[in-house]
Amino acid sequence: MAVNPHLVELERRIKNRNARIGIVGLGYVGLPLAVEFAQAGFKVVGIDLDERKIHSVNLGTSYIEDVSTATLKPLVRDGLIRAQSGYKGCAKLDAIIIAVPTPLRKTKDPDISYIVGSLNEIAPQVRAGQLIILESTTYPGTTEEILRPALEAGGLTVGREIFLAFSPERVDPGNKVYQTKNTPKVVGGSTPSCTKVASLLYAQAVEQVHPVTSTQSAEMIKLLENTFRAVNIGLVNEIALMCEKLGLDVWEVIDGAATKPFGFMRFYPGPGIGGHCIPLDPHYLAWKLKTLNYSARFIDLASEVNGHMPEVVVRRAGAILNDAKKSVRGSKIFVLGVAYKKDTGDTRESPALDVIRLLQEHGARVSFHDPYSNAIRGEDGRVEKGAALTERNLKAADLVVIVTDHAVFDYGMIVKNARRILDTRNATRDIKVGRGKVVKL
């Protein structure tokens, strides 16, 4: 087989840590990845349209909880990381990693406009010997159907002069055990040489790389991971509704089932699902399958169940107040936690926002507290600030609703001072309380 000089030179630059890396998107995925490559000795250019992020990065100040300022600042000071708001100079980069948002439209169709926007800036500058990697979650076929034709339009061929791969992000905000460096990296290239060089690049910064045979396989792997979680959360949320009808404690049922040492994986119910991945990613797969005249029934059903859970929380809140001869309208309801998961300040797609909105629509006077997020933005754009978690505020509330089970909450103090509690996360399981004071989902 003939030696590919472009591949040989790119591999040499990667191994020698001379490759210049560009990362498009400096959010929860891009900034931690930039830090890992910089710590491995590479010079990294971050590209983002948000001038506030650019300014913050160039000051060495982190806005991502998984990246400390103490870690970022010396990398910026030493010239290993810099940020810019435009795409100027992309031709000088050896590898460009695209990690931009991929939201859903209101119709639940994929919105890949951020990917396309980045591609429109990068493609005219692409040169021989470059590696382009997409990390943004998307439907199977995006890399080959959207990126490849655009990159080859200038006459360069993928796998020969330029190299293209997909490697799904696997970020779990707030996870203290698994972060970018020690989370295995799946890599699928357009050709074997693309897979080889992309795997080599990631191997410099992460501990384990798992190559697969195609970009489509890598894209599907990401969707399977989050569809698996969405479907199982939907199942256990429906089990919670069944247990309510049967007068059973769903938490006891799950913990009992989990004593089986094989064939069962523990999932817990909750007020809904949030974050950028689990509520959205399965719909990318469902949309793609619709174009092939196939209905993803499990995905649709799980989405329906999970999407209904904030309404279940509000219904349960109304029932608790009704038992106390109170209506939701006019009642003071104190919501604890607005992040979508414990011990983070990430409110993206958080079910807490829906719970608060629905309670307000029913006329409740809602306040909230979250130690990691002291303000939320409503659908009308209005910013609401949180209230302090004090004995006085707990006692003043007609009902306290625990939506996010942050570990820093003093649940003993909360139970002691609240008149009534709706616990959607079983956060008060270890607190001894009188009968009827705490109602669990």
Lowest mean pLDDT among 272-276, 312-316, 397-401: 272-276
For 113, half-sphere exposure in the C-beta direction (CA atoms, 13 angstrom radius) is 5
Q: Checking phi first, is residue 141 left (phi over 0); if not, alpha (psi -120 to 50) or beta?
A: left
The three-class DSSP label of residue 309 is helix
Gap between the Cα atoms of 193 and 159, Å rounded: 6
Quote the tokens at residue 199: 């795997």
Q: Domain residue spans in the chain?
A: 5-213, 230-440
Helix (H) or strand (E) holding 394: helix 391-396
Determine the average pLDDT of the residues in 10-19: 98
Gap between the Cα atoms of 316 and 310, Å rounded: 10
Which residues, at least 6 apart from 127, have a Cβ–Cβ distance to it below 8 Å?
A: 91, 156, 162
Confidence category of residue 383, pLDDT binned at 50, 70, 90: confident
Quote the tokens at residue 93: 């980069």
Confidence category of residue 34, pLDDT binned at 50, 70, 90: very high
- The number of residues making up the chain comes to 441
The residue that leads in pLDDT, 340 or 433, is 340
Identify the active-site residue in 90, 194, 243, 277: 277
Contact (CB, 8 A) for 333 and 387: no
Determine the average pLDDT of the residues in 342-357: 93
pLDDT for residue 434 is more than 80: no
Contact (CB, 8 A) for 217 and 188: yes
Contact (CB, 8 A) for 72 and 39: no
What pLDDT digit, counting tens, does each position of 87-119 carry? 999 999 999 999 999 988 877 788 999 999 999
Scanning the structure block, which residue is given the tokens 């020698």?
A: 16
Give yes or no: 194 in active site. no
pLDDT for residue 176 is more than 90: no
Q: Where are the beta strands (DSSP E) in 152-241?
A: 163-166, 185-189, 209-212
Quote the tokens at residue 155: 């006459």
Torsions phi, psi of 106, nearest 5?
-60, -25
Say yes or no: do domains 5-213 and 230-440 share a fold.
yes
Q: What integer best gives the mean pLDDT of the chain?
A: 94
pLDDT for residue 380 is more than 80: no
Bridge partners of residue 158, in order along the sequence: 162
Q: Which of 420, 431, 374, 371 is nearest to 394 (CA)?
A: 420
pLDDT for residue 25 is more than 60: yes
Determine the average pLDDT of the residues in 326-330: 96
What pLDDT digit, counting tens, does each position of 187-227 carry? 999 999 999 999 999 999 999 999 999 999 999 999 999 99
Position 155 scores a pLDDT of: 96
Strands 163-166 vs 131-134: parallel, antiparallel or unpaired: parallel
Determine the average pLDDT of the residues in 348-365: 95
Quote the tokens at residue 400: 């306290």
Which residues, at least 6 apart from 317, have a Cβ–Cβ distance to it below 8 Å?
A: 328, 333, 359, 399, 401, 422
Position 436 scores a pLDDT of: 61
The CATH architecture one would assign to domain 230-440 is 3-Layer(aba) Sandwich (3.40)
Position 269 scores a pLDDT of: 96
pLDDT for residue 435 is more than 70: no
pLDDT for residue 42 is more than 90: yes
The residue that leads in pLDDT, 174 or 324, is 324
Domain boundaries 5-213, corresponding CATH code:
3.40.50.720
Give the global pTM. Answer: 0.91
